[in-house]
Amino acid sequence: MTVAFITGANSGIGRSAAVDLAARGWTVYGSMRSLDKGERLAAMAAEAGVEVHPVVCDVTDTESVNRAVADVTAASGGIDVLVNNAGIGANGVLEESPVERYAEAMDVNLYGVVRCVQAVLPQMRQRGAGCIINISSVAGVVAAIAQSPYVASKWAVEGLSEGLAQEVAPFGIRVAIIEPGIVKTAILAKNVDAPNDSGAYDRAYQRMFQFYAAGLADPGDPSEVADVIYEAATTNRPRLRWTCGWGGPELAGNRRSVSDEEWVALATIEDDAEYLRRFGKLFSIPSVIPEA
């Protein structure tokens, strides 16, 4: 029986993955900062006829993480798959984002991963098996405009995961990075900040929100990410990076062919319609291109 520990399981991708993996016969432990946040998870699990074991875990608190992992290990005998899903959004251009904003994003999105991996890895290493899945973002591949703190945290997750994959491969442990594009989750509804005291960055925020508006017209579903998590954990042809969701495969796949000079030049286009047209063409996302 595969045992999975999923952080941030009270909403969005984590909740969908918890129910989906339980439906596939896995024993699933879904963590959240407070059990009061787990009502919707419990309802979805009941509707699907499965059980997801709720666990209190605050990924910003090392003691909380260690306690949760110890409790799950004692109850299940060991964790086979760790899904580091807990995360927060963080809009802002660099000039007007305080260091504290970066620290908050890093504490959840990066240090939370570090804490959970450090807690789980010894038992995986001892068994010579296991899978660590880190939920990054397409913003960890393409530096989304006006989301500097979030982008910094997700690029850090990418680098950490890439290095981790080599560190643990000799022990029979695989690492997978999931890079969703736009997926319909609660994080998008909360992600409306636009710190712009100077007023100099109106265009940057406008273009960022335009992009998300285009994606939200037909967003990916959290269940799609859940399917990718399962495939990444069970495939006999493992790979490091997986993309999904609206715009995910296009952005991640085409960034390699877009030169740095082309990327920077995008920002110098003054006309919004032309900017979107050029963006859509470079990254092969037709729905971003304004209609004539």
Burial call 164-185: b when 16+ CB within 10 Å, e when fewer: bbeebeeeebbbbbbbbbbbbb
Unique residue bearing structure tokens 């994080």: 187
Q: For 26, phi and psi rounded to 5 degrees?
A: -80, 155
Instruction: Choose, from 102, 150, 201, 205, the residue flagged as catalytic.
Output: 150
Which residues fall within 8 angstroms of residue 229, CB to CB, at 6 or more apart? 17, 20, 21, 83, 133, 178
Start-end of H helices in the chain: 12-23, 39-48, 62-76, 99-109, 111-127, 148-168, 186-190, 202-216, 222-234, 248-254, 260-266, 272-283
Q: Is 212 marked active-site?
A: no
Q: For 50, phi and psi rounded to 5 degrees?
A: -130, 170
Strand-pair partners of 28: 4, 52
Distances (CA, A) of 85 to 30, 88, 109, 202: 10, 10, 9, 31
Cα 211 → chain centroid: 18
Which residues fall within 8 angstroms of residue 258, CB to CB, at 6 or more apart? 282, 283
Which residues fall within 8 angstroms of residue 70, CB to CB, at 6 or more apart? none
Active-site positions? 150
